[in-house]
Amino acid sequence: MVSWRFADFAWASTSPSYEEASVDHHLGCKAITDWLPPAPARELTDEEIASHVVIQEILNSPIAPSKSTKIAFMFMTPGSLPFEKLWDKFFNGHEGKFTVYVHASKEKPTHVSSHFLNRDIHSDQVVWGKITMVDAEKRLLANALQDPDNHHFVLLSDSCVPLYSFDYIYKYLMHSNISFVDCFQDPGPHGNGRYSEHMLPEVEKKHFRKGAQWFTLKRQHAIIVMADNLYYSKFRDYCQPGLEGHNCIADEHYLPTFFNMIDPTGIANWSVTHVDWSERKWHPKSYRAEDITYELLQKITSIDVSVHVTSDEKKEVQKWPCLWNGLQRPCYLFARKVYPQALDKLLYLFSNYTTI
């Protein structure tokens, strides 16, 4: 196999001088790593070189101009969508600016909105925690990418609801040149503790990241996800619940790690879909009809700082401002997990809360 050197580092000298190796009485002894030259960079494999070339070519290629740039709303659901009437209200009057795709993994949906008719794609079984979740995401992306006018791709679940008007969300996404992919470093058991060394050499532990799966991707990033097989295969084979005693969840690690490696400055590091983990359980808090109030929705839409908590003993709280084109803005455009029984309440409040 031919290997390629990714980067070369020059050795400044073959041995340290007396001064470099001496004791500083104020700073203490220098560690040997402080004066040794850096280790040479790892040589990339043929597969990595090929992958990097393709990725950079896609990132550097401008998207073809379009008369009608659209957002692809991609719904991943086991069956019918309980909030279809709410989404119908959200979409009304904005035809030509969006497309809808539905991946129903268990049963064929019954649609009540014309915006969802004939928008079901070929679907397959999805098992929580397994690579089939990522496969469903890629299936939705593949279908949505067939429309050259789709410039942004939003992944939503059956329990997701919009927090703003269509116009606000359209401008928020279209006027930003980044993707919104949740991505943070968790040194605890539910973060780096899920890493497997079988992912080496392509995926190193220092690059391993975690995040919620609910992304929004710009077109270049969506194409890159479809083009990738090298890194996807690492998570398919070595990120599985129960494998080697780890509880690795592919949809929580594949894309955060992938984008952290290939285009870290091209993502926002937070998801625009709000979810409440304050109960610190395996699953986030669910909102019932009695929980849905104007005040709750106002509270969610006022959040302008992204927060993550590590899973180690320190429970470190990581915070960073939600910056949109350099300006601090509300973080969230959508919310989940909402129970179907909240539909009527949301329909009643829709006109008021989407103008917050």
pLDDT band at 39, cuts 50/70/90?
A: low
Query: Rounded CA gap, 279 and 284, in Å?
Result: 7
Q: Is pLDDT at 266 greater than 90 in this prediction?
A: yes
Q: What is the 8-class DSSP label of residue 38?
A: P
β-pairing, 70-77 vs 161-162, is unpaired
Task: Please report where in the chains the tokens 């780096």 appear, as a residue.
Answer: 192
pLDDT band at 182, cuts 50/70/90?
A: very high
Q: Is pLDDT at 271 greater than 50 in this prediction?
A: yes
Helices (H), 61-147: 84-91, 131-145
- Residue 107 corresponds to which tokens in the numbers above? 């049963």
pLDDT score for 26: 42
Helices (H), the chain: 18-21, 32-35, 46-60, 84-91, 131-145, 166-174, 219-227, 230-238, 250-262, 294-301, 343-353
The lowest-confidence range among 36-50, 61-75, 251-265, 339-353 is 36-50
Question: Could you tell me the domains of the chain?
Answer: 44-274+333-338 (3.90.550)
Whether 127 and 76 have beta carbons less than 8 Å apart is answered as no
pLDDT score for 238: 96
pLDDT score for 284: 81
Q: Is pLDDT at 273 greater than 60 in this prediction?
A: yes
- Alpha-carbon separation of residue 324 from 151, 162, 272, 300, 328 (angstroms): 18, 19, 11, 17, 6
Q: Is pLDDT at 281 greater than 90 in this prediction?
A: no
Query: Rounded CA gap, 333 and 5, in Å?
Result: 43
pLDDT tens for 6-25 read: 333 333 333 333 333 333 43
For the sheet containing 334-335, what is the strand order? 161-162, 334-335, 273-274
pLDDT tens for 125-160 read: 999 889 999 999 999 999 999 999 999 999 999 999
Q: Is pLDDT at 105 greater than 50 in this prediction?
A: yes
Using left for φ > 0, alpha for ψ between -120 and 50, and beta otherwise, residue 189 falls in: alpha
Q: Which of 217, 203, 219 is nearest to 261 (CA)?
A: 203
Query: Rounded CA gap, 56 and 160, in Å?
Result: 33
What DSSP string runs through 198-254?
Answer: GGTTTS-GGG--B--S--EEEHHHHHHHHH--HHHHHHHHH--BTGGG-B--HHHHH
pLDDT score for 282: 66
- Residue 274 corresponds to which tokens in the numbers above? 């709000």
pLDDT score for 220: 97
Measured in whole angstroms, how far is the alpha carbon of residue 28 from the centre of its chain?
Answer: 44
Q: What percent of the chain has pLDDT over 70?
A: 87
pLDDT score for 9: 32
- Residue 211 corresponds to which tokens in the numbers above? 């995040």
- Alpha-carbon separation of residue 136 from 5, 180, 183, 216, 337 (angstroms): 36, 19, 20, 15, 19
pLDDT band at 55, cuts 50/70/90?
A: very high
Residue predicted with more confidence, 19 or 286: 286
User: In this structure, which long-range contacts are made by residues 238-246, counting pairs with CB atoms below 8 Å and at least 24 apart in sequence?
Assistant: 238/196, 238/198, 238/199, 239/131, 239/194, 239/196, 239/199, 240/129, 240/130, 240/131, 241/129, 241/130, 243/196, 244/196, 246/193, 246/194, 246/195, 246/196
What's the angle, vertex CA 246, arms to CA 244 and CA 248, rounded to 5?
120
The lowest-confidence range among 17-21, 139-143, 301-305, 326-330 is 17-21
Q: Is pLDDT at 3 greater than 50 in this prediction?
A: no
Q: What is the overall mean pLDDT for the chain?
A: 89
Residue predicted with more confidence, 20 or 60: 60
C-alpha atoms less than 13 angstroms from C-alpha of 34 in its C-beta half-sphere: 10
pLDDT score for 162: 98
pLDDT score for 35: 59
Q: What is the 8-class DSSP label of residue 120?
A: B
Q: Is pLDDT at 122 greater than 70 in this prediction?
A: yes
**CA-based end-to-end distance of the chain:** 59
